[in-house]
Structure 1
Amino acid sequence: MTNKIYYLASCDTCRKIIKSLPNSDKLEFQDIRQNPITEKELEEMHSLSGSYEALFSKKAQLYKSMDLKNKSLTEADFKKYILEHYTFLSRPVFIIDDKIYIGNGQKNIIEVIKALS
């Protein structure tokens, strides 16, 4: 399996993280706006993370504007929304050596850097 990053090229945080990575040439890059994630890719992320909610970004502006925070969302809902609009994927998502790293938290990025070193 390929080591991969799902990210947004237009996101400053993603760009900053990518710049800080050692050996980023070992990664396959997928800009999720230009090349949206497929159901198969999302299911692979789900099998590694254990839940769609873990992959879902509650920081997304659409989350607030669609008033989703006041709805009880199921795993099926999280999956549907992530597939409907790239903004719902918590970014960046790394898959390195069959392990998944979700989001831009400092602890997470340190783990990614270790995994790539």
Structure 2
Amino acid sequence: MNKIYYLASCDTCRKIIKNLPKDNNLAFHDIKQTPITPAELDEMYQLAGSYEALFSKKAQLYKSMDLKNKALTEDDFRKYILEHYTFLSRPVFIIDGKIFIGNTQPNILAMMKALGQ
């Protein structure tokens, strides 16, 4: 099943979702309303190759917890993502066994192509 992990209150996520094709056939998962499970995160990890690739270093908690000055391990990245939704780089799309992480233009274009747009 194709999925999108997003934050409903995020303007960028809303803009991306608004531009998705109407017949996108995606399961929508608002990570604030329904936190991601360890199994879901591990599925993302298998596709992404690392927890760090899924981790948002733009999160305000990243700065306020002074994590940028710590040597974080893969276990740390996993722990923080599971502890608070803000640490997941958003949105995350899983389409036909491929993962698209974040909102960069090249990533969104690749995701749209994977959706057949």
Q: TM-score, normalised by structure 2?
A: 0.97
- The alpha carbon displacement at 1:22 in A equals 1.6
Taking a change above 3 Å as real, the CA distance of residues 31 and 96 of structure 1, as seen in their structure-2 partners, is same
RMSD: 0.8
- Structure 2 gaps of 5+ residues are none
CA distance in 1, matches of 2:23, 2:93: 11
For the Cα contact (< 8 Å) 2:93–2:100, is it kept in 1?
A: yes
Q: After TM superposition, list the pairs within 5 Å mapping 1:9-28 onto structure 2.
A: 9-23=8-22, 25-28=24-27
Structure with bigger helix share is 1
CA distance in 2, matches of 1:107, 1:17: 13
Identify the range of structure 1 (15-24 vs 40-49) with the bigger mean alpha-carbon deviation: 15-24
Q: TM-score, normalised by structure 1?
A: 0.97
- Structure 1 gaps of 5+ residues are none
For the Cα contact (< 8 Å) 1:18–1:24, is it kept in 2?
A: no
After superposition, what is the alpha-carbon deviation per residue over 1:72-91, rounded to whole angstroms, capped at 9, x for unaligned? 00000000000000000000
After superposition, what is the alpha-carbon deviation per residue over 1:23-65, rounded to whole angstroms, capped at 9, x for unaligned? 4540000000000000000000000000000000000000000
Q: Which residue of 2 aligns with 1:7?
A: 6
For the Cα contact (< 8 Å) 1:46–1:52, is it kept in 2?
A: yes
Q: Does 1:81 align with 2:69?
A: no
Name the % identity: 76
Q: Letter of the aligned partner of 2:38 in structure 1?
A: E
